[in-house]
């Protein structure tokens, strides 16, 4: 970025900076942009005043999403399995595995069912979940079959979040579903659920006619625990409420006030559809790194988090936002420009959109997250900090979880 542009970034006053950061946070991916429903600020107030918040302590899980992997060869999944065994032994709720394709960003995760099977046999207690299966890329019968196998391997510990997808390149795997990916997701989700329950469905045969199929082996759980993944579209939150699914979301494009409004609308949609509002689980994926010293934590995460934000800022087309807010031609941003914008966003993200700090200092953020309606924090740990450092710091995350639970127990909420 030119020195002039850097100076303009740094010279923004508080209001301009807030406006720019809000624009960056709220940029939505292609899957949500056309259908996004604006969040009414008054919703947040209603939620805070009358939501009937879950009094239980939030659960903590480990979330994997973004690792670029090490050099090709053995050992690339060692940390994933090590972290799963740690979480299993230290009272975490789940391990979440994503689905990613055709990019070094997330290259370790093209097949969540395969990795979930490995985790299932390496653990004994923790839930094994997909976050997320991009359902329009797959035949729903095959999805039900694969995850039924994992359910059996795990002793009935499977859960799946389904996403509609938004990266066009992914759809080389299923070229005809991209235009109607949202509708396809909702329809195929019901197919997976029916098959999981043991129902037979009618399918067409290649030479004409049809046949009835069921899934074998039968899963151990009578109902598949299901989440819908949303990056911020109110429509998806309402669909999840109507269908009685859980919700998986994040804070890359929003803030906790907006999340609280979505959570309230979701629980009201569950109520209106005849589902128990309190049974809906809201899982928040959150970049996480906990250590003994706040300054050291900041130093550890700065470079990898800037790289992460830069990758996502590119995916979410923030070149256009930069053009709007800074008078820069968004179509001509250099690589340095993109990095500078990510660096500009780092401070805000570190303070308000992630779980960073010490076991003592991060308790406040957890309390704010809980107050927004979240009842599970999916701690995204593999965003670029080296694996040896991550391994050495998982114990501090467990300490944070224990502090939160003790604090709520003393307050009568445990």
**Within-domain flag for 361:** yes
Specify the pTM: 0.84
pLDDT at 413 over 70: no
What pLDDT shows up at residue 345? 79
Q: Residue 350, Cα to own-chain centre: how many angstroms? A: 17
**Within-domain flag for 82:** yes
**Within-domain flag for 327:** yes
Of the given ranges (35-39, 275-279, 283-287), which has the lowest mean pLDDT? 35-39
**Range 79-105 average pLDDT:** 94
Q: How big is the chain by its Cα radius of gyration, in Å? A: 21
**Average pLDDT value for the chain:** 84
**Within-domain flag for 376:** yes
- Which of 31-35, 141-145, 232-236 holds the top average pLDDT? 141-145
The answer to whether the bond into 231 is cis (omega within 30° of 0) is no
What pLDDT shows up at residue 66? 76
pLDDT at 164 over 80: yes
CATH number for 216? 3.20.20.30
pLDDT-based confidence at 54, cuts 50/70/90?
low
| Selected residue with higher pLDDT from 332 and 378 | 378
* C-beta atoms surrounding 7 within 10 Å: 10
**Within-domain flag for 414:** no
pLDDT tens digit sequence for 293-331: 999 999 999 999 988 887 765 544 433 443 344 454 555
What pLDDT shows up at residue 105? 73
Number of domains in the chain: 1
What pLDDT shows up at residue 2? 47
CB-count exposure of residue 175 (10 Å: 0-12, 13-18, 19+)? exposed
Tally the residues of the chain: 414
**Range 260-283 average pLDDT:** 97
Q: Which residues make Cβ contacts (< 8 Å) with residue 273, sequence separation at least 6?
A: 241, 242, 243, 244
Task: Tell me which residue range forms the domain holding 331.
Answer: 3-409
């Amino acid at each position: 970025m030119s020195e002039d542009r850097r100076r303009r970034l740094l010279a923004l006053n508080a209001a301009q900076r807030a406006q720019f950061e809000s624009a960056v946070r709220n940029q939505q991916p292609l899957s949500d942009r056309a259908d996004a429903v604006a969040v009414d600020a008054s919703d947040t107030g209603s939620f805070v005043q009358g939501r009937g918040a879950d009094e239980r302590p939030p659960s903590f899980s480990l979330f994997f999403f973004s690792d670029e992997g090490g050099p090709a060869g053995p050992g690339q999944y060692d940390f994933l399995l090590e972290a799963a065994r740690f979480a299993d032994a230290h009272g975490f709720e789940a391990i979440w595995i994503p689905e990613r394709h055709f990019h070094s960003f997330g290259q370790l995760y093209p097949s969540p069912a395969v990795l979930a099977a490995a985790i299932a046999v390496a653990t004994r207690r923790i839930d094994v979940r997909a976050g997320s299966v991009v359902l329009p890329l797959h035949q729903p019968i095959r999805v039900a079959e694969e995850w039924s196998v994992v359910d059996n391997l795990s002793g009935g510990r499977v859960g799946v979040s389904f996403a509609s997808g938004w990266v066009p390149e992914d759809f080389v795997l299923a070229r005809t579903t991209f235009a109607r990916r949202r509708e396809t997701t909702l329809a195929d989700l019901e197919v997976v659920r029916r098959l999981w329950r043991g129902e037979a469905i009618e399918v067409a045969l290649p030479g004409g006619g049809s046949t009835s199929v069921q899934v074998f082996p039968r899963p151990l759980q009578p109902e598949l625990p299901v989440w819908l993944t949303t990056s911020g579209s109110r429509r998806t939150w309402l669909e999840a409420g109507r269908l009685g699914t859980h919700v998986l979301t994040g804070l890359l494009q929003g803030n906790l006030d907006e999340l609280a409004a979505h959570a309230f609308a979701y629980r009201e949609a569950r109520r209106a559809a005849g589902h128990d509002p309190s049974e809906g689980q809201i899982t928040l994926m959150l970049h996480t790194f906990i250590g003994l010293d706040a300054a050291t934590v900041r130093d550890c995460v700065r470079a990898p988090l800037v790289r992460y934000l830069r990758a996502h800022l590119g995916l979410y087309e923030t070149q256009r936002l930069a053009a709007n807010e800074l008078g820069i031609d968004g179509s001509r941003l250099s690589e340095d420009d993109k990095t500078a914008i990510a660096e500009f966003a780092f401070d805000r993200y570190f303070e308000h959109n992630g779980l960073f700090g010490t076991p003592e200092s991060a308790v406040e953020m957890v309390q704010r997250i809980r107050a927004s309606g979240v009842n599970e924090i999916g701690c995204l740990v593999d965003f670029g900090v080296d694996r040896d450092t991550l391994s050495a710091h998982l114990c501090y995350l467990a300490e944070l979880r224990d502090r939160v639970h003790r604090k709520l127990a003393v307050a009568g909420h445990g």
